[in-house]
Amino acid sequence: QVQLEESGGDSVQAGGSLRLSCAASVFILSGYCVAWFRQVPGKGREGLATIESNHLTRYAVSLEGRFTISKDYARNTVDLQMNNLQPGDIAKYYCAARIDRGGGCWLLDHQYTYWGQGTQVTVSS
């Protein structure tokens, strides 16, 4: 069983930056698809970014290049750097993982097996 834990959520002013981290109970930097999603109350989960075992990344077009997903081998985390945050980014942010069996890692929440509890991001204007 893989356990995931997000950290780094905070309250920032519009235009600010945050870096979220996803820590895992196993080594997830190889052999796993890891993704970041977010959700606001009353809405479905929105896929933001994925990273594959081979470091290939995919992003939601709506992010317009403001977010970057990366692996930190020293800490065994998958991080999400978020820049130029806006009130529209207010949400609970989740990391998710599944075994990478090839075929690509996509921003489809139903494909992911393991989920963290989420970390809240708030942006004030």
Q: Which helix (H) or strand (E) holds 23?
A: strand 18-24
Model confidence pLDDT, tens digit, residues 20-66: 999 999 999 999 999 999 999 999 999 999 999 999 999 999 998 99
Question: Is the distance from CB of 28 to CB of 2 less than 8 angstroms?
Answer: yes
The closest alpha carbon to 71, from 55, 83, 49, 60, belongs to 55
Q: Rounded mean pLDDT of the chain?
A: 96
Is there a contact between 95 and 22 (Cβ–Cβ < 8 Å)?
yes
Evaluate whether 34 touches 112 at the Cβ level (below 8 Å).
no
Instruction: Quote the radius of gyration of the chain (alpha carbons, Å).
Output: 13
| Residues recorded for the chain | 125
The mean per-residue pLDDT over the stretch 67-76 comes to: 96
What single-letter amino acid sits at 23? Answer: A
Report which of residues 79 and 1 the model is more confident about.
79
